[in-house]
Chain A
Amino acid sequence: MSILSVEKLTKQFGGLTAVSDINLSIQKNELVGLIGPNGAGKTTFFNLLTGVYKPTKGKISLNVGKEPISLIDKRTDQIASLGIARTFQNIRLFKQLTVMDNVLIGMHQKNNVGTIRSILRVPSFFKMEDKLKKEALELLAIFNLEDSADVLAENLSYGQQRRLEIVRALATEPSLLFLDEPAAGMNPQESVELTKLIRKIQQEFDLTVILIEHDMSVVMNVCERIYVLEYGRLLAEGTPEAIRSNPDVLRAYLGEEE
């Protein structure tokens, strides 16, 4: 069953076509990679799927409930509430807040007792706060961040910040997780750990994961299927082995032979 299907998705910025006529379909519980040279339109594509940009044309439909829902004309927060979570290429944590607060904010949408009840401090408010804090700690523990719960997010190391961003995304209880260059800036060992972690959360949280990545070892190790973008177009699609030997992909990455 396809959980996300995209048809003829196009985004133009003035005269520039950043994403052009992309068709793709993601199956439930798949781990899909999205690669391509710089400026290929990968992040723009994520931004279209998450409602940050409005597509010029095309269709996006999400199939998590009984019937498919069109994501066109939905606000970013509505799309997130439907079960799409993401991380950002240039980490966007709430830097001035604690690690715990970052996670609690992720949990807010699905666990809101309401503003008036919160102000009146009804018993259900306290019950919910305790429950959320406990769950947040459990979630942080999976990523070895539970000891840093009271630390400000900006004081975490780079690798920890990347992981916290994933925790925060998971806190929204998503069915689809978009990771935008999760291994960027990590050393080889951290990348290997991240690879394991992505696999682990994909199984543990029953997730469908789409990831943009430049680190080929991560992509080739973790992804079951890979889409390659170049100049906003879909260049190739297939298993890691097929992509590795695809002449078009080699040309895009390495240049043409003279």
Chain B
Amino acid sequence: MSKRMKSILVWVVIALIGFAIIQVAILTGWITRYYEMTLMLILINIMLAVGLNLIVGISGQLSLGHAGFMALGAYTTGIITRMMPNLGGFALGILGGVFLSGIVAYVVGIPTLRLKGDYLAIATLGVGEIIRIAILNLDITNGARGLSGIPKLATWYYAYIVVVLIILVAANYVNSSPGRATISIREDEIAAESLGINIQKYKMIAFLIGTMTASVAGSFHATYYQLIVPSQFDFVRSIDILIMVVLGGMGSLTGSIFAAVFLGLLNHFLADYGSLRVILYAIALILVMLFKPSGLFGRREIKASKLFNWKKKGVSQS
């Protein structure tokens, strides 16, 4: 069997095992309804973190407006599924959200992706806020009261499948020629340009994939929690996602996934401590940044091919 087939097989097995573990845990009552909400939050956060990592970690463009694109998906899906409360409506809502956030990201990306560093961060922050304020003032979105009574269509296994798909898309992109071109922009824009790489184009591709996945996450958010209000998608939510990316390691998809799970669980188990939770959460972040400033994983990834090497050589190369 070729190495390529082996890698694919390993990932399929890992994905199935993950699914089976969660399923068994639910059937045996390990994961209660309350726990299931944490599970869902983690899955949604993985979608968001992996998407934002493509923008921040892979193309090297700091975006602070991720929650805005999540809101586009959430509201599109919320509005559509309230009219069509079935799985067709859910699918239509996801696609509609992806389409809408793609258009918004494209239009916004043309001017803002020319900016660098802090300027881009401020511009994307502005975009996120504009989206939120637009939602706050539109009739169709029901303003500050938000949308309630959205049918509960999202289940954890749909979310799980979508998470696997999003990771697949992101990993395939990163490990391809266009992905390498995008990484080269992060490393050195001038050198990338001198090799014929259209830096605007690849910044845009990473931005589009990232924002579209944020929209999908929003769709799941809306159809799981059944109530969406604009304040759920404010600047703080964008920072939340950014923290996962930074904590896991900018440029490491594995890191983003791990950080989303870790922070989700941390939040869950600290919930009993009330306001102490926020302090402990902050201390955990400070400690990681002190001892591992590049994030838990740095830029490393767990790769199936490396697992084989590891077995052979006994050492995994970073």
User: Using a CB–CB distance below 8 Å, which chain A residues touch chain B?
Assistant: 50, 52, 75-78, 80-81, 85-86, 88, 92-97, 101, 104-115, 118-121, 125-126, 128-129, 132, 150, 168-169, 171-172
Contact = CB atoms under 8 A, between A and B. Distances in A.
Contacts of B195: 77, 80, 85, 105-106, 108-109, 168-169, 171-172
Nearest to B199: A77
B177 A132 contact: yes
B118 interface: no
19 contacts: A50-B194, A52-B193, A52-B194, A77-B194, A77-B199, A80-B193, A81-B196, A93-B188, A97-B180, A97-B183, A105-B184, A105-B195, A107-B177, A109-B195, A115-B176, A118-B178, A119-B172, A121-B172, A172-B196
A159 to B, nearest CB: 19
Nearest to A82: B196
A115 B194 contact: no
Nearest to A83: B196
B190 A125 contact: no
Given A105-B184, A109-B196, A109-B197, A92 B177 contact: no
Given A119-B172, A119-B173, A75 B181 contact: no
A126 B4 contact: yes
B196 A77 contact: yes
A77 B197 contact: yes
Contacts of A104: 177, 180
B316 interface: no
A137 to B, nearest CB: 16
Given A77-B198, A119-B173, A171-B195, 11 more contacts: A52-B193, A80-B195, A92-B188, A105-B180, A108-B178, A110-B196, A112-B177, A112-B178, A115-B173, A115-B178, A126-B4
B145 to A, nearest CB: 39
B216 to A, nearest CB: 15
A88 B172 contact: no
B196 A92 contact: no
Ordered nearest first, which 7 A-B pairs have the shortest CB separation?
A109-B196, A118-B176, A80-B196, A76-B193, A94-B187, A92-B191, A81-B196
A125 B178 CA distance: 11
Given A105-B181, A109-B196, A119-B169, A96 B187 contact: yes
B177 A118 contact: yes
B46 to A, nearest CB: 18
B191 A94 contact: yes
A104 B182 CA distance: 12
Interface in B154-202: 169, 172-173, 176-181, 183-184, 187-188, 190-199
B299 interface: yes
B205 interface: yes
Contacts of A118: 172-173, 176-179
A50 B191 CA distance: 11
Contacts of B199: 77
B197 A128 contact: no
B181 A80 contact: no
A96 B299 contact: yes
A138 B177 CA distance: 18
Nearest to B168: A119
Given A50-B194, A77-B199, A86-B194, A108 B177 contact: yes
A128 B177 CA distance: 9
Question: Which has the most chain B C-beta neighbours within 10 Å: A101, A106, A119, A125?
Answer: A119
Contacts of A101: 180, 183
> Which interface residue of B173, B177, B194, B196 has the most chain A CB atoms within 10 A?
B196
Contacts of B188: 92-94
Nearest to A104: B180
B193 A113 contact: no
B298 to A, nearest CB: 10
A83 B190 CA distance: 17
Contacts of A110: 196
Nearest to A91: B191
A36 B199 CA distance: 33
B317 to A, nearest CB: 8
A104 B176 CA distance: 10
Interface in B120-155: none
B209 to A, nearest CB: 8
Nearest to B176: A118
Contacts of B191: 88, 92-94
Contacts of A86: 194
Nearest to B180: A105
B194 A80 contact: yes
Nearest to A117: B176
A157 B197 CA distance: 26
Contacts of B184: 94, 97, 105
A109 B198 CA distance: 9
A99 to B, nearest CB: 13
B177 A113 contact: yes
